[in-house]
Amino acid sequence: MLKKTIIIIGPENEAEQVAQKISGHFGGQLEIFIYHEVIDAGLFNKLVKNHDLVCITSGVSKCQMQEIISLCQEANKTLYLLPGLFEVLLQGANFFYVDDMPLFTINCLGLSRRQQLKKRIFDIFLCIPGLIIAFFLFPLIALAIKLTSPGPVIYSQERVGLNGKIFKLLKFRSMIHQAEQLTGPVLATDDDARVTPVGKILRATRLDELPQLFNVMRGEMSMVGPRPERPDFVGEFMQTIPHYKYRLRVKPGITGLAQVKGRYATSAQDKLRYDLWYISNYSLRLDLKILLKTLPVVLNGKNAEGIYRKKS
């Protein structure tokens, strides 16, 4: 039986990343072809007709994207689209009429004052029983950290919050004391030697995040939202990833859509897509769904793995 084929059209780096994800998802059942340079409508037509499935990345121009979408419709081909900011916002847009003219209305990213108030009440409602349960776990976790590694039990670190405001995020220490004294700020990697044995358990179960309930009570974080990043990384991502600044339109969260759908090692670009979709489609019901999906994610240790590092 012949394999189905899929053509991925887009800039080289983006198309290669998409190809790796699709290959892993379909377990080798698809034969993948990549095309980096789209030239004209005639070539579009040939590429679409010669393959069973078509995928275009967010790096494809809007003009080319429209042409490919039209050809896929004419050829009855399934199309996959890696969304950019425009597609994310359009998905949450409202359709209405002005006289006999149809229009989309796209609201600004962020929460209204009413939504902010409801979300704050929701956070406190969940945070209080969470702190009561955590009260019994805190001494056991603190003792385990103290007995196995010198240094403080609670680790505080600067993170970027709502509208770029810096705050101190609280965590149970999972790395050796002063782990970045020589290296400076670096992302955790797979099999990171700086993580203590107890820290590995805390990270895999997300118990190291429990002290952030105090951040929620202080109003610096929410139960659900984009995960807060460190100022060094935010500065870097602002320069390299378009529209990254818009994820700062809401409070950061202990968990988020990117955490239940992705992994720690998911790229910053893909996490941003989840974060922007979350902000654009925010509701208390969505928050509740994400919280309910967080438990199975916590039980799956793979989701807590660090950035992949090739072994030398």
Distances (CA, A) of 171 to 37, 127, 157, 212, 223: 46, 16, 8, 6, 15
Residue type, 33: F
Kindly list the domain boundaries of the chain, sorted by start residue: 4-82, 113-304
Which among 74, 75, 69 has a CA at the least distance from the CA of 55? 69
Residues composing the chain: 312
98: helix, coil or strand?
strand
Q: How far apart are CA 36 and CA 59, in angstroms?
A: 10
Q: Which of 37, 88, 18 is nearest to 6 (CA)?
A: 18
Mean pLDDT of the 97-117 span:
90
Output the pLDDT for position 163: 95
Distance, in Å, from the CA atom of 7 to the CA atom of 31, rounded to the nearest integer, reads 9
Tokens 């994610």 -> residue? 297
Determine the pLDDT at residue 122: 96
The stretch 9-15 carries a mean pLDDT of 88
Percent of the chain with pLDDT over 70: 88
**How far apart are alpha carbons 197 and 145 in whole angstroms?**
9
Question: Which residues, 6+ apart, have CB-to-CB distance to 230 below 8 Å?
Answer: 157, 158, 159, 160, 185
- The model's pLDDT over 265-304, given as tens digits with 9 standing for 90+, comes to 788 889 999 999 999 999 999 999 999 998 887 776 555 5
Q: How far apart are CA 227 and CA 256, in angstroms?
A: 7
Asked if the model's pLDDT at residue 308 lies above 50, the reply is no
pLDDT of amino acid 164: 95
Rounded mean pLDDT, 244-263: 92
Q: Which pLDDT tens digit goes with each residue over 153-203?
A: 999 999 999 999 999 999 999 888 766 665 566 666 556 778 888 888 888
Distances (CA, A) of 17 to 3, 30, 37, 221: 21, 16, 16, 32
Architecture per CATH, 4-82: 3-Layer(aba) Sandwich (3.40)
